[in-house]
């Protein structure tokens, strides 16, 4: 999508077609009327979007219907609150099953200004690792590890508080009133990030073994089967169904790794892993935490700030993922990714 050719009214029109495929011009006019657009303006907007290959039409004459063209939904702004007003079984899910074609199509995700944000952060992080007092650097890494382990676990339903997580990681003291599996989940995060720190050069280019190893570390002692799953799996809050055949899953994972390794911009690699590992769901459980940790491994190995997700609202994060599953729209997941990079730059290794 060429943002320089699209104005805000046309973006809203695209957003409408994403959520309301096969809409008539009259239905579009009724929607755009709230945006103070005239009939002639709407016709011009539709003709432009057709010319830009963003919209397609079906039928003819009075019966013509407009839809967003397949594959063009990736970065269109979506009103997240409006999208989730409809209940799970009532939403119009464009991609009810895993979209294999998305693997090769997901790229070109960042604007120049967004690229600059990451590059400025990279320069700052390099300076901190070179010039920061070693004792302070160690404390900052410990703080980051605690906050990442706490928040990533909280996203998965863990009920440890941040201070309880600190006590567990620093003093090996489990909090009262919590299941032992919660402590194991947090410590697994800590151990996985420790491995990423110690072997960070090996994660500059991710391979299948890296993903499997990180997943195994994150799910140790949690009664989660290791290796690629051999049956189907459902996801809470969505009717989207991932692949259910082990060989297809392994093939898709291999294709994903090959595609990502062809991309030059490292933060784009990290965002794609964050989205696509969760989307593919290659394991029986632990997919989202694996996607976050693999994404961080890529960032840190290449000199970028990793993300702790400390300020993320976990429900909003899950909604952004579900939107990606159902519509292949990465707008909000990318927004969260960018916000967390800015948060990392402003809050760690000061």
Kindly report the backbone phi and psi dihedral angles of residue 191, in degrees, each rounded to the nearest multiple of 5, phi listed first.
Answer: -65, -40
In the block, residue with structure tokens 């709407």: 42
Diameter of the chain measured on Cα atoms: 73
Residue 279 CB-half CA count within 13 A: 30
pLDDT in tens, the chain (350 residues): 544 467 888 888 888 898 888 999 888 888 877 555 578 888 899 999 999 889 999 988 778 999 998 878 999 888 899 899 999 999 989 999 999 999 999 999 999 999 999 999 999 999 988 888 999 999 999 999 999 999 999 999 999 999 999 999 999 999 999 999 999 999 999 999 999 999 988 999 999 999 999 999 999 999 999 899 999 999 999 999 999 999 999 999 999 999 999 999 999 999 999 999 999 999 999 999 999 999 999 999 999 999 999 999 999 999 999 999 999 999 999 999 999 999 999 999 88
What does the block give as tokens for 326? 């159902």
What does the block give as tokens for 31? 């929607």
CATH topology of domain 102-347: Fic-like fold (1.10.3290)
Domain boundaries, the chain: 3-72, 102-347
d(CA 343, CA 230): 38
State the DSSP code for 298. Answer: H
pTM of the model: 0.91
d(CA 242, CA 98): 5
Contact 174, 168 (CB under 8 A): yes
Residue 116: which of 13, 237, 267, 225 has the closest Cα?
A: 267
Residue 217 CB-half CA count within 13 A: 21
How wide is the angle at C-alpha 300 spanned by C-alphas 294 and 301, nearest 5°? 85
d(CA 286, CA 180): 17
- Confidence (pLDDT) at 2: 46
For 237-281, the DSSP string reads: T---B----HHHHHHHHHHHHHHHHT---HHHHHHHHHHHHHHH-
**Considering the domain 3-72 in this protein, what is its CATH number?**
1.10.10.10
Contact 278, 321 (CB under 8 A): yes
Contact 68, 14 (CB under 8 A): yes
Contact 238, 96 (CB under 8 A): no
Contact 9, 28 (CB under 8 A): no
**Beta strand segments in the chain, E:** 55-58, 65-68
d(CA 70, CA 119): 32
3-state DSSP assignment of residue 97: strand
How wide is the angle at C-alpha 234 spanned by C-alphas 229 and 236, nearest 5°? 130
Residue 6: which of 71, 38, 67, 53 has the closest Cα?
A: 53
Kindly report the backbone phi and psi dihedral angles of residue 241, in degrees, each rounded to the nearest multiple of 5, phi listed first.
Answer: -120, 120
């Amino acid at each position: 999508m060429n943002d320089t050719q699209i104005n805000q009214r046309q973006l809203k029109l695209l957003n409408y077609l994403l959520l309301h495929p096969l809409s008539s011009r009259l239905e579009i006019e009724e929607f755009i009327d709230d945006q103070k657009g005239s009939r002639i303006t709407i016709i011009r907007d539709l003709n432009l979007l057709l010319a830009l290959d963003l919209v397609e039409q079906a039928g003819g004459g009075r019966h013509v219907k407009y839809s967003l063209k397949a594959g063009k939904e990736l970065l269109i702004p979506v009103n997240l609150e409006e999208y989730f007003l409809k209940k799970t079984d009532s939403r119009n899910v464009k991609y009810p099953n895993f979209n294999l074609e998305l693997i090769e199509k997901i790229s070109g995700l960042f604007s120049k200004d967004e690229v600059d944000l990451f590059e400025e952060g990279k320069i700052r992080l390099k300076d901190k690792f070179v010039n920061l007092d070693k004792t302070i650097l160690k404390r900052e890494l410990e703080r980051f590890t605690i906050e990442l382990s706490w928040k990533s676990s909280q996203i998965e339903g863990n009920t440890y508080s941040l201070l309880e997580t600190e006590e567990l990681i620093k003093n090996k003291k489990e909090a009262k009133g919590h299941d032992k599996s919660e402590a194991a989940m947090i410590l697994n995060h800590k151990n996985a990030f420790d491995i990423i720190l110690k072997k960070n050069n090996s994660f500059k280019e991710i391979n299948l073994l890296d993903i499997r190893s990180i997943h195994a570390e994150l799910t140790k002692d949690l009664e989660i089967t290791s290796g690629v799953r051999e049956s189907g799996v459902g996801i809470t809050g969505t009717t989207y169904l991932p692949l259910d055949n082990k060989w297809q899953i392994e093939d898709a994972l291999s294709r994903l790794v090959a595609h990502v390794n062809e991309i030059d911009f490292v933060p784009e690699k990290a965002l794609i892993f964050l989205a696509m590992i969760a989307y593919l769901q290659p394991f029986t459980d632990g997919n989202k935490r694996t996607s976050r940790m693999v994404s961080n491994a890529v960032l840190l190995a290449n000199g970028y700030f990793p993300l702790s997700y400390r300020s993320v609202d976990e429900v909003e994060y899950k909604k952004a993922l579900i939107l990606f599953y159902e519509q292949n729209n990465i707008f909000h997941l990318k927004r969260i990714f960018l916000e967390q990079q800015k948060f990392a730059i402003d809050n760690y290794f000061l």
